Amino acid sequence: FFLSPKLEKRAKGKLQKQICQVVLDHFEKQYTAELGDAWSSVRDVLTSPWCWQHAVLLNRFSRSPGLESSLAEQGYQPAFPAALPYLPAAFRCYTRTAPGRFPAQKHQPGRLKEYYLLNAASLLPVLALEVKDGEDVLDLCAAPGGKSVAILQCACPGHFHCNEYDDLRSRWLEQTIESFIPDPLINLITVSKLDGRQIGDLQPEFYDKVLVDAPCSNDRSWLFSADPQQAVLRLMQRKELSSLQFQLLRSAVQALRPGGSLVYSTCTLSRAENSDLINLMLSSCRNVMPVDLSGMARGVSQEFTFLSGMQQHELLVLPEKGRAWGPMYVAKLKKVSST
């Protein structure tokens, strides 16, 4: 998939107009300081949507006979071919190095979709969570539902609680689950609209596994903010996000049983919302300890580019051309005792 120089120039001109300059200037300053030399190549990918890639996660509850051969014909190959610490046999995902998008499937009531299109890096928090059959699982900030669907491709939880505070996003989550999960299994899923900061108080020590895919500065979408005023407002409110994320993490730890583990993830490069937050959590909560993710990182090193110099319990996927996945930050913690 290559554009002729003339078409690329035209596409660049068109897309450049859509890039929100105030956001790009802000990122330029912050990420040059935080990422150093890595930022320029990341910036090139984030500001060039024609080089973005999409993964195809197959739905084990609705297998289509010709789908995998159709994917192969279009250059897709199974993702994660290396041995990973956790990769259930039913979990099937396809990627290709060329950009472009496999056709999306429309929601049809009463009919299950055969696959989910997503950024392949967003599967890493699910693989890090290592859900096993029969475990009680909480997806604290679950909309739009891709990670919830991915968890159910891995295992059948004893009870699965998908929470989304925002009303509109909660309806989106419900529709996603309806589109991918058959009726018998849907009975094991609770969808709620609770404030995630309160779930730890409402259901203390109830879950074996908790995913906190936190609301964050979504670097990809913020760069293309159509409304400059909204962009300015977002950037002003950005500093408050880490406070919300910390409260969600505290709640998640409360909701965990001793011995249980949580995965925290964001789709931002921002250190304040990633490493700084996890460091604060580890220094302020004596009953959690970091969990080493280096085995998983080694297993997926062919697919993803990671920021070097991270601690063993965290990963930061950096988008680059040909591997335009991320940004995606993943950290894993374990609760060692009651609060």
pLDDT tens-digit readout, 273-325: 999 999 999 999 999 999 999 999 999 999 999 999 999 999 999 999 999 99
- Are 209 and 134 contacting, i.e. CB atoms less than 8 angstroms apart? no
Q: Is residue 9 part of a domain?
A: no
pLDDT at 228: 87
Q: What averages of pLDDT result for each successive group of 10 residues across the chain (339 residues)? A: 44 60 96 96 95 95 93 94 90 93 88 96 98 98 97 97 95 95 92 97 98 96 90 92 97 98 98 98 96 96 95 97 96 91
Which residue do the tokens 């070097």 mark? 308
Total tally of structural domains belonging to the chain: 1
Over the Cα atoms of the chain, what is R_g? 20
pLDDT at 13: 45
Q: Is residue 50 part of a domain?
A: yes
Q: Is residue 73 part of a domain?
A: yes
Q: Is residue 6 part of a domain?
A: no
Domain that holds residue 22: 17-335
At position 57, the amino acid (one-letter code) is L
**Which tokens hold the place of 61?**
């509850």
Rounded-to-integer distance, Cα 41 and Cα 305, Å? 11
By annotation, the residues acting in catalysis are: 267
Q: Which residue ranges are tagged as binding site?
A: 141-147, 164, 195, 213
Q: Is residue 111 part of a domain?
A: yes
Rounded-to-integer distance, Cα 154 and Cα 133, Å? 9
Q: Is residue 5 part of a domain?
A: no
Listed residue (179, 141, 85, 93) closest to 263, CA to CA: 141
Q: CATH no. for residue 191?
A: 3.40.50.150
Q: Is residue 94 part of a domain?
A: yes
Q: Which residue ranges are tagged as binding site for S-adenosyl-L-methionine?
A: 141-147, 164, 195, 213
**Which tokens hold the place of 165?**
């505070």
Q: Is residue 170 part of a domain?
A: yes
Listed residue (249, 227, 224, 222) closest to 238, CA to CA: 222
pTM score of the predicted model: 0.93
